[in-house]
Amino acid sequence: MAPITETIEINRRPEDVFAYLDDVQRHGEWQEQIVDVEPQGDQPMGVGKRVRETRRVPGGNRSMTYEITAHDPPRQSSFRVLDGPIRAVGTVSVEPIDDGSRTRLTITIDFEGHGIAGKILLPVAKTQARKQIPKDQARMKELLESHQ
């Protein structure tokens, strides 16, 4: 299966959108599956930063650690999940539109299945993400546009 790519336009400056995305403690505001977020260590957000996240998934809550693999504020950030049977690899891109007064936000994500469970669950995870990402983006848009 190909990576999932979803794009949405937000009526906020790219710097505002990226700052909101970069604040991992706020991810639960716009991603309904997030139960808990724990930044690891004192390192500021950037390449090598790790975050422990707990999400509601079919079958219960699952914790995973992800690492920032690229970080270019206010334009792009990439990550990879380090553990678990299903490991996501993704990039979030923030592009200015309308002379920088608005933003085009693109999320691209793919999944790798590890072990027997991962291989079995991979199609389910991708199907779930394909449905969830547009909902999460719409929620983020709503939150950012209502707090200008």
Q: What is the pLDDT of residues 115-128, one digit of tens each?
A: 998 999 999 999 99
If 0-12 CB within 10 Å is exposed, 13-18 middle and 19+ buried, where does residue 58 land? Answer: exposed
The structural domains of the chain, ordered by start, are 4-146 (3.30.530.20)
DSSP strands (E only) in 98-145: 102-113
The three-state secondary structure class of 112 is strand
The DSSP letter of residue 70 is E
If 0-12 CB within 10 Å is exposed, 13-18 middle and 19+ buried, where does residue 131 land? Answer: exposed
pLDDT in tens, the chain (148 residues): 689 999 999 999 999 999 999 999 999 999 999 999 999 999 999 999 999 999 998 788 999 999 999 999 999 999 999 999 999 999 999 999 999 999 999 999 999 999 998 999 999 999 999 999 999 999 999 999 998 6
